[in-house]
Amino acid sequence: MSAGTVEQSRDLVATLARATSRATEALCSLQRTDGHWCGELEGDSILQSEYLLMKWILSQERAPMADGRDGALVLAKITKTLRSQQRPDGGWGQYPGSTPCLSSTVKGYLALKLAGDSADAPHMRRARACVLALGGAEWCNSFTNFYLAALGQIPWSAVPAIPPELVYLPKWSFFHLSKVSAWSRTMILPLAIVSVLRPTRRLDASQAIDELFVSSAARARLSSRKDGSRLWRSAFGCIDRALKLVQPLVARTSWRERAITDAFSWIMARASQEHPVPTDGLGAIFPPMVYVQVVMHALGIERDDPRVKVAERDLDAFFLEDAESIRIQPCFSPVWDTGIALYALNDCGLDARDAAAARAASWLVQKECTFQGDWADNCPQGTPGGGWFFEYRNGWYPDCDDTAMVAMALMRTGGAAAQAAARRGIAWLLAMQNDDGGWAAFDRTKSRPLLECVPFADHNAMQDPSCPDITGRVLECLAWHGMRVGDETVDRAVAYIQEQQEPEGCFFGRWGVNYIYGTWQSVIGPIRCGVAPESEWIQRAGSWLKSIQQDSGAFGESAESYLDPALKGQGTATASQSAWAAMTLQEIYGEHDTAVERALAWLAQTQLDEVAARDVARNPDGDPAGSWCEREFTGTGFPKVFYLRYHLYRLYFPLMALGRFIHARQKGAGDSVVTRTPVAGCMNAS
């Protein structure tokens, strides 16, 4: 290496060390006083439109809020946010830059019309044209149809029939609740009660959306699914029609009433603040928390009932409000954010000796969940708990992804309590491995594609099968606990991941956008467990990443790649995705690889300095200096249906990538680098 090249290398390392220090300080400035992080979690327009429609279903559009505030004023601020999310083409989409979404646009149009917007206003004409161009409102998804039916815009015959007697199915049944995904589980029984009680708010003719429908006949019948097996779609369609035919005969029977009562008891046990385990609403996520309020309304439970008050308070806690508008989050992400933030600090050399890391670890230990939730249905009897959930309180539903993230951060941070909790998390993860060698999100499950053919499965997530990204993260966690290739658990997981590799060499990302995320997670874990980076399948993954690196050195991918695989690895450059790619390439090729250096150099060049942080145009979210601007959605809720923008992704993932690089260079080539000295007490009072 020439003297000039050595000097350039040292200059780059020094630059990246300074970027690492700034990012560390930025992350610590966002830490809460009790040690945790919780960034904004941003979804799309349906959070606003569905909340507004719920209030109309409940006849609360002018009623005071649960906290006593002027309800009309609050809804007006939510409506303002919804208007701002409409795109120039008239529609509403799933993320900035997406194609228009029919269901989102229909809900947005109806919500604005109920708010008083004239159907002849230019923005409403554009929305209407968008809906008609997409085939008409009769093609909305089943979850949208529940709102439309409850507001009298379509008959209940167009809504999937879900018998509440599902609650009685034996465990061996293919359609037992334990066989569907946790998030579907929390929606099915509320919707079952709604579908048989059929609460309907009649709107004035001037508020109706007849103009959005093309076919009156199609408006009155259940839309036919276009995906999955035609045979099974037809069979489930026949079952749906049969259930609707017998509905009048069983509506007032004692066993139907008992089924509704028992289904409601199941729901309330999982939405309780006290018994048997505290939780902040059913599933602690927006959709079922909305449906619970509609269910209680349909059952005639008055608004002054303590259960209704708690449900309202939990849902309204998702508000982010300023002087002019309110935007609604789908849930909170504190355990996820804190686990990743702590892991990033670990990569920068911080451990229990540093106050920021110590407080984060202490907070995470307190969030350990040992309750036997729904996950226990699919595990051997007596399997001990020991996982972590995503939100502040959601004891019924710990998940493998959060548990892996937290367990490896706690193990690296150190301390007797942290490492003991981490070991319990590992034991729980080992019990959650699926028969195919992989891990799913919330349950020990098997793939059951037939479930995707039922009429109300068009949210594209009826099941929760193994996925390579979670499996790879679990392997990375197991590596920190000393498990290596040769262990049966590891070998089965590695074999599963290899089977999921795409022809190009990349991997699908179930929980992040998309093939960059999937490849990052799927590759690093196996390498940490002892798979040779020179392995053919690992090299193919690395070659694919290098093939999509942009001229600037950055990486980016749009969620459109879920719809069009030809768009794999293509999109606007982002800090989070560039970090994922850089970490993967470093794991495969080492810290001196040119592609790694170029990706990290781009991160350093685009990092917000003090001037940029004060510039609203360059930093519209008001991030601290040391962070990055990232407007794109790089998180995934349901592929093809719902996406997320985690506001801390743009900070802790780049910090993680920079920390790993600096650490490797310090260990390796003897570069003289001065890294950040851990600062005690760098927590922000919030």
Residue positions annotated with a catalytic role: 401
397: left (phi over 0), alpha (psi -120 to 50) or beta: beta
Q: Which two tokens stand for residue 39?
A: 């960034």
Nearest alpha-carbon partner for 76 in 84, 88, 87, 67: 84
Contacts of 67 (CB under 8 A, 6+ apart): 313, 316
**Core vs surface per residue 450-486: b (16+ CB within 10 A) or e:** bbbbbbbbbbebbbbbbbbbbbbbbbbbbbbbebeee
Return the C-alpha torsion angle 288, 290, 291, 294, nearest 10.
Answer: 160
What are the C-alpha distances in Å from 208 to residues 56, 149, 213?
Answer: 13, 12, 11
Helices assigned H by DSSP within 91-229: 102-114, 122-133, 142-150, 182-197, 216-219
Reduce the secondary structure of 590-632 to three states and give it as a string.
CCCCHHHHHHHHHHHHHCCCHHHHHCCCCCCCCCCCCCCCCCC
* Burial class, 673, CB count within 10 angstroms (exposed 0-12 / middle 13-18 / buried 19+): middle
Please report which helix (H) or strand (E) contains residue 157, including its range.
none
Nearest alpha-carbon partner for 667 in 592, 574, 585, 573: 592
**Residue 20 is which amino acid?**
T
Nearest alpha-carbon partner for 301 in 407, 151, 184, 197: 197
Q: Which two tokens stand for residue 117?
A: 């917007």
Q: How far apart are CA 328 and CA 331, in angstroms?
A: 9
Nearest alpha-carbon partner for 527 in 598, 604, 472, 593: 472
> What sign does the dihedral 348-352-357-361 (CA atoms) show?
positive
3-state class (DSSP) for residue 326:
strand
3-state class (DSSP) for residue 93:
strand
Dmax over CA atoms of the chain, in Å, equals: 88
Length of the chain counted residue by residue: 686
Contact at 8 Å (CB) between 634 and 517?
Answer: yes
**Residue 327 is which amino acid?**
R
Contact at 8 Å (CB) between 330 and 288?
Answer: no
Asked if the bond preceding 276 is cis, omega within 30° of 0, the reply is yes
Instruction: Supply the DSSP string of 172-192, one letter for each residue.
Output: TSTT-GGGS-HHHHHHHHHHH
State the Cα angle at 427 between 422 and 428, rounded to 5°: 95
- Phi, psi angles (nearest 5°) of residue 635: -110, 155
Please report which helix (H) or strand (E) contains residue 378, including its range.
none
Please report which helix (H) or strand (E) contains residue 319, including its range.
strand 319-321
Instruction: Supply the DSSP string of 605-616, one letter for each residue.
Output: HHS--HHHHH-T
